[in-house]
């Protein structure tokens, strides 16, 4: 990987766990970036497939930092890597996703021009396990700026996790990753925004997000519980209760289709005063399913 003293060092952190079919494409997409000054840290977190062998072959050819450890979990792995990273900026990147070639270059230029921004992101295009495009790209065309309230209240779409480039000093100043909350991308965005910084989402697609049965967002119980943990960090916000109910309503609507016992459980947690169109649509789905 080319080095350039004029460009700030960017650390890309790839925690890998049982992603053998995808990890090589992930790493090669980082090695193929147009940005010249990248430190690549790859950490295998106790994989039981042949991920280590695949990564080691790439490491022998390209010389990036590769470490193998007993399973510690994503948050501990990210915090350890964040401490030893040398970059001014860093990008945590899942080992099943793919970067587009100009991603890092474009984001660094944006962060250099906007010191008030702690996180620069972009949009994503979904791909299937074989790398084929799925649906339309999630692209807005224009840069959108998110502050704490727009993230916490959900008034704008958030920043996609596979595209985050963060200021390392700010991440350390807000305490790094919270080891008790496993939706780490939203938690970090909210912590940085609460500290007074902005999150800017560039309009173009910067990464390919791989969809497969192991994606965490498919686990609705996980998404419900972890989302509520995140919002509890900011329980002093006047809209805290409303935000929690909106989160329940969002998961409820999905659960009414995919996990009806969970849907009925969530419905009992939402007082009528917090019912919305999503509540009514979910209730209709549940009642029709009983016929």
Q: pLDDT tens digit string along 28-83?
A: 999 999 999 999 999 999 999 999 999 999 999 999 999 999 999 999 999 999 99
pLDDT at residue 5, as a whole number: 58
* Residue 2 confidence (pLDDT): 47
Rounded CA-CA distance 249/266 in Å is 8
Q: What is the pLDDT of residue 215?
A: 65
Provide the pLDDT for residue 217: 66
Give the start-end residues of each E strand in the chain. Answer: 10-16, 38-45, 65-69, 89-92, 98-99, 117-127, 133-138, 144-146, 165-167, 198-210
Q: Which two tokens stand for residue 279?
A: 């509540």
- pLDDT lower than 50: segments of the chain: 1-2, 4
CA distance 127 to 229: 29
CB 195 within 8 A of CB 146: no
Q: What confidence score (pLDDT) does residue 114 get?
A: 98
Where exactly are the structural domains of the chain?
A: 10-210, 219-290
Q: How high is the pLDDT of residue 1? A: 47
Phi, then psi, of 39 in degrees rounded to 5: -100, 120
In contact, 75 and 83? CB cutoff 8 Å: no
* Domain 10-210: assigned CATH number: 3.90.550.10
Task: Tell if the pTM clears 0.85, that is, is over it.
Answer: yes
Q: Strand 98-99 to strand 198-210: parallel, antiparallel, or no bridges (unpaired)?
A: antiparallel
């Amino acid at each position: 990987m080319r080095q350039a003293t004029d460009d700030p060092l960017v650390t890309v952190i790839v925690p890998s766990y049982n992603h053998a079919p995808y990890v090589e494409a992930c790493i090669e997409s980082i090695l193929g970036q147009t940005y010249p000054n990248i430190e690549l840290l790859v950490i295998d977190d106790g994989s039981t497939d042949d991920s280590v062998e695949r990564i080691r072959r790439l490491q022998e050819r390209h010389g990036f930092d590769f470490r193998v450890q007993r399973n510690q979990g994503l948050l501990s792995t990210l915090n350890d890597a964040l401490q030893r990273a040398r970059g001014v900026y860093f990008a945590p990147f899942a080992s099943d996703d793919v970067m587009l070639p100009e991603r890092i270059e474009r984001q660094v230029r944006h962060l250099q021009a906007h010191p008030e921004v702690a996180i620069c992101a972009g949009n994503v295009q979904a791909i299937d396990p074989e790398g084929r495009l799925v649906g339309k790209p999630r692209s807005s065309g224009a840069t959108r700026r998110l502050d704490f309230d727009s993230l916490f209240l959900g008034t704008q779409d958030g920043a996609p996790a596979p595209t985050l480039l963060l200021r390392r000093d700010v991440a350390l100043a807000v305490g790094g990753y919270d080891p008790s909350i496993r939706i780490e991308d939203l938690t970090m965005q909210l912590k940085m925004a609460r500290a007074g910084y902005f999150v800017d989402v560039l309009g173009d697609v910067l990464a390919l997000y791989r969809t497969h049965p192991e994606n965490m967002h498919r686990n609705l119980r996980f998404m419900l519980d972890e989302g509520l943990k995140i919002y509890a960090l900011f329980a002093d916000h006047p809209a805290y209760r409303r935000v929690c109910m909106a989160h329940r309503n969002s998961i409820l609507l999905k659960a009414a289709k995919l996990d009806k016992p969970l849907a009925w459980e969530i419905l009992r947690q939402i007082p009528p005063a917090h019912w919305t169109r999503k509540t009514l649509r979910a209730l209709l789905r549940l009642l029709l399913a009983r016929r």
